[in-house]
Amino acid sequence: MALVWEQVVVDAVDPEALAAWWREALDWVTVSEPGDEPELRPAADSLPGLLFVRVPEPKSVKDRLHLDFRPDDQAAEVARLEALGATRVDVGQVDPSWVVLADPEGNEFCVLGSRHDG
C-alpha cells in the first residue's frame, strides 16, 4: 500500500484569516471553494497542502509538530515574515542556526539558514 502526503491540518480560531496569512507568507494558492475549509498548495496541482480547520479554543501549548522552511536569505526572510505579523518565539533553543517564529495564532515554525551558507 502506498501513501501520498496530502496536507497538513492546521487548527485555527479564524481559519480564513490564518489561511490568508500563510498564503501571503508562502505565496501559495487557494484550492478550496468559497465556504469550504481553506486549503493552500504551492500550485493548484501540487501537494502537500495546508488545510485550515475551525476550532473553538486558541493554541495553548508548544506545537508537537512544526514546519521548517529553508530560504535563500534567512535574515531577509525573517524580516519579511515579521513584517507580515510573525513573532519570534523562544522554545528553549540555545544559539541555533535557525529562527523560531510563530504565525498570528501562535503556531511555531522555523526559518533555517540558507543552503548556500556553507
Grid coordinates representing 5 are: 502526503
- Quickly state the pLDDT bin for 48 (edges 50, 70, 90): very high
Q: Where in the chain is the domain with CATH 3.10.180.10?
A: 1-55, 65-118
Cβ–Cβ under 8 Å, residues 74 and 81: no
- The predicted-structure confidence for 69-85, as pLDDT tens digits, reads as follows 999 999 999 999 999 99
Q: Is the pLDDT of residue 117 over 70?
A: no
**Is domain 1-55 given the CATH code 3.10.180.10 in the classification?**
yes
Cell match 480547520: residue? Answer: 53
Question: Looking at domain 65-118, which CATH architecture does it have?
Answer: Roll (3.10)
